[in-house]
Each structure stands twice: as C-alpha cells, then as structure tokens.
Amino acid sequence: MGQIGPWQIIIVLVLVVLLFGRGKISELMGDVAKGIKSFRSGLSDEDQQNASQADPKTINAQTTETAAKDKTTAN
C-alpha cells in the first residue's frame, strides 16, 4: 500500500504535462540548466581566485629586514 509503482509515476507525469503544458516544462528545465551552469562557473571562478591569491598569513622576509633597518637608523 505504501509503495509507489511505475503506473503511479506515469499518471503523475501525465497530470503534470496536462496542467503545465510541454512548453512551460521545457522552459523551466532550461532555466534550471542555466542556473546549474552559473553555479558551476561561480565555483570555478572562486577556486581560481583562491589559488591566485597569496596567503595573507605569510610575511615577506625582505620587508621585515627593511623595517628593522629603518628602526635602527631612526634611533
């Protein structure tokens, strides 16, 4: 009684097509595909940005040496 069979699925699909029409369903699927493509491109853009940016926690050794020399000459 609680299982869904293939005939029930076919009946539901026929009702959906009758209610919304083939044009509306294909338009909706096209919008879903565009959304998925946009999401994937956003993820790949984010990965490329993360790979190209330097780690903000690293300190350039040359900068610290220059700063140390500036402090000693100021004193």
pLDDT tens readout for residues 5-56: 999 999 999 998 888 888 888 888 899 999 999 999 988 887 777 776 655 5
pLDDT at position 17: 87
Give mean pLDDT, residues 58-65.
57
- Using the CB atoms, write b or e for 17-53: b if 16+ within 10 Å: eeeeeeeeeeeeeeeeeeeeeeeeeeeeeeeeeeeee
Q: Give the domain extent around 29.
A: 22-48
Whether 66 has a pLDDT exceeding 70, the answer reads: no
Is 55 a member of any domain? no
pLDDT at position 35: 93
Number of domains in the chain: 1
Instruction: Please give the Cα distance from 52 to 22 (Å, whole number).
Output: 45
Is 35 a member of any domain? yes
Is 26 a member of any domain? yes
pLDDT at position 3: 86
Is 40 a member of any domain? yes
**What's at 48, amino acid-wise?**
Q
Give mean pLDDT, residues 53-75.
59
Is 41 a member of any domain? yes
